[in-house]
Structure 1
Amino acid sequence: MQLGRNLPGVRSMNKALRSILVLASLSSLFHVTAGNAVAASTLRGGGTGAAMVLLNRLGEAFSAQNPGVSIEVVVGLGTSGAIEALVDGALDFAVAARSLTPSEQAKSLAFAPFCRTPFGIVTSYATPSGFGRLDLTDFYADPTSRWPDGTAVKVILRPRSDSDTMMLAKLSPRMAEVLDNLRKRAEIPIAATDQDNGKLAASLQGSLATMTYTQALSENLDLRFLEIDGIVPSVENLERGRYSLERRFYFVSRADNRAEAFIAFVRSPEGEKILREAGNLPVMP
């Protein structure tokens, strides 16, 4: 499956956002429709990169039940970009990977969770060992860290403001300091988007990166999750309360909520089935 290419200029969310997004989205989207007929109505959404393949699958299933409606998914926006585009009227709904900021709350947006997925540490290394949280912090901190066969560890970071960075920083009391020190090392890559992160993690030998379970599963990435404190990140362990690290995804919409029918479908038994198959647990608002 090929997603639409990133929209130029959108990540920076500059003053030209309205014109860039509205014009570029016409040529840089993938369309989810039932059959080949032209849809009579279109809903446009976007958001966190970790959920874009999931959103595509949900859109396909929704359109199959509603042949007159198509879902267009704008990629490359991220949570903040999608919420800005929603406020500007360029999107009908956004999928967020974090809570709304105070300034976003002031925009009178509807905001509700719809699923949660395990969050963890992945690697391209074939047989990684597990770590306790403190040991994992040391593993990140040591520039000479190696996997059991001697393969050098290649850390991949995310931007400071990214929700992955915030979650990783809370893994242990020292991790935030360790991440700050890692940013001073010029050789360590910083993946701007979830898709960049996935490609780097899968292609770099001995990689060490953060990721959601749903992205790794949905994009069929050749990566392994590390056990943390003896527990494997999985939907089953998350549901049983054995694994605690998770990311939640939220629907964000305006007061007019043109996406109400689609959001209701996601919460239906068929939508919940798709969520689970993609490595998520449904969450009721």
Structure 2
Amino acid sequence: MASFVKAALAVTAVLATFVSPPTSSAAETLRINGTGAGLVVVKPLAEAFQKENRGIVIEMEKSLGSSAAIKAVSRNALDLAISGRTLKPAESAEGLVQQEWGKTPMAVLANRGVRSKGVTLKELAAMYAGSSAKWPGGELVRVVLRPNEDTDTKLTRSMSPEMDRGVGAAQGRKDMLLGITDNEAFESLKKTEGAVAVMALSLALAEPNSVNVLKLDGVLPSVANAASGKYRFVKDMHLVMRKDAPAAVAKFVKFLNSKKGRSIAAKYGLVVPGTK
């Protein structure tokens, strides 16, 4: 009798594996990556989305940057890329589509030790050119650059003819600090005394009080000022996916553009169309 009970219990245990409710491993996975300035905005949005959609798990690894993430989407290694640039014709030809998501101010950020509260565009250009070596408080200016072909570098150059020349001069110097990715540049800014860089405001808002956000020509780089056009230097963010993207992608994109999604994004420096 004892052996029969043991056998019955064993059969019951095996059957239970087929009738038990699905575990979290059965959830649909949404793989996202892209530019670091975009991922810091996506992180809180992903957390809010998953609370409302328990059947979808969002995975985000260390930032790959726009180009690498776009390539990963085309190869089905990612489902959604957050890009700081538009698709190239060759990328569109691979079956990729994009949507404009929003824009974040390209802000002048300085190391926390810098005592200045703002700069003019002319002063900033002089810092990049090397003709202004110190901050008003006496700190040595250390410019943090991005690669010459990077979108942020192009945006910085486009701020004025003086900035274009200043960035060109800085790119030709060997003593400059260089961050290959958003995250590398931001870390260099945080740890280097006197450092300055033109970077997405979203990076600073994701880590409050880690750097100084400076006024540029007397205007604070903020969501409100970017939305109104008062602050005119911005970086566009795009959502890149395959034409045959899984349904979870469309669901997440819809959330990003919802009233709740726009509100969360605004707290982290991104102006999504429809945000007031």
1:275 counterpart = 2:262: no
Number of the residue aligned with 1:208: 196
Q: Does the C-alpha gap of structure 1 residues 120 and 63 become closer, same or farther in structure 2, counting only changes over 3 Å?
A: same
1:263 equivalent in alignment to 2:250 = no
The one of 114, 121, 135 aligned to 1:147: 135
Structure-2 separation of matches of 1:173 and 1:143: 16
Instruction: Measure, in 1, the Cα distance between the counterparts of 2:242 and 2:252.
Output: 14
Q: For the residues of structure 2 that align with 1:76 and 1:277, how far apart are their CA atoms?
A: 21
Partner of 1:171: 159
1:70-85 equivalences under 5 Å are 70-85=57-72
In structure 2, the residue matched to 1:4 is: none
Partner secondary structure for residue 245 of structure 2: coil
- Equivalent residue for 1:57, pick from 30, 41, 44: 44
Amino acid at match of 1:186: K
Q: Within 5 Å, give how 1:179-258 maps onto structure 2.
A: 179-220=167-208, 222-258=210-246
Q: 1:103 aligns with which of 85, 90, 97?
A: 90
Give the Cα–Cα distance (whole angstroms) in 1 for the partners of residues 139 and 39 of structure 2. 32
TM-score (normalizing by structure 2): 0.85
Compute the displacement of 1:117 (Å): 1.2
Determine the C-alpha separation between the residues in 1 that align with 2:216 and 2:171.
Answer: 23
Structure 1 runs not aligned, ≥5 long: 1-35
Distance 1:161 1:221, change over 3 A: farther
* Map of 2:73 onto structure 1: 86
Deviations 1:183-210 (A, max 9, x none): 3322211101111111111111110112
Number of residues paired by the alignment? 249
Aligned mates of 2:92, 2:24 — CA distance in 1 = 38
Q: Secondary structure at the match of 1:201?
A: helix
What do you get for the CA RMSD once the two structures are aligned?
1.8
- Give the match's secondary structure for 1:281: coil
- What's the counterpart of residue 120 of structure 2? 132
Shift of 1:221: 5.2
Aligned mates of 1:81, 1:142 — CA distance in 2:
33
Return 97-106 or 86-95, whichever deviates more. Answer: 97-106
Closer/same/farther in 2, CA of residues 272 and 39 from structure 1, 3 Å limit? farther
Question: Once structures 1 and 2 are overlaid, which stretch shifts more, 60-69 or 129-138?
Answer: 129-138
Larger radius of gyration: 2
* Residue identity in the other structure for 2:124: L
Moved more, 58-67 or 275-284: 275-284
- TM-aligned CA deviation for residue 59 of structure 1: 1.3
Amino acid at match of 1:54: V
CA positional deviation for 1:66: 1.0
| Residue in structure 1 matched with residue 99 of structure 2 by the alignment | 112
Give the gaps of 5 or more residues in structure 2: 1-22
Cα distance in 1 between the residues matched to 2:152 and 2:272: 21
Contact 1:201 1:208 in 2 (8 A): yes
Tell me: CA distance 1:39–1:218, structure 2 relative to 1, closer, same or farther (3 Å).
farther
Q: Is the 8 A contact 1:39 1:70 kept in 2?
A: no
Cα drift, residue 115 of structure 1: 1.8
1-structure distance, mates of 2:27, 2:135: 54
> Do 1:116 and 1:282's aligned partners in 2 also have CA atoms closer than 8 Å?
yes
Identity %, equivalent residues:
33
Tell me the CA shift for residue 274 of structure 1: 1.0
**Change over 3 Å in CA distance of 1:186–1:47 after alignment to 2:** same
> What SS does the corresponding residue of 1:282 show, helix, strand or coil?
coil
Change (3 A) 1:143 1:39: farther
Using structure 1 for the length normalisation, give the TM-score: 0.82
Contact in 2 for aligned 1:39/1:69 (Cα 8 Å) = no
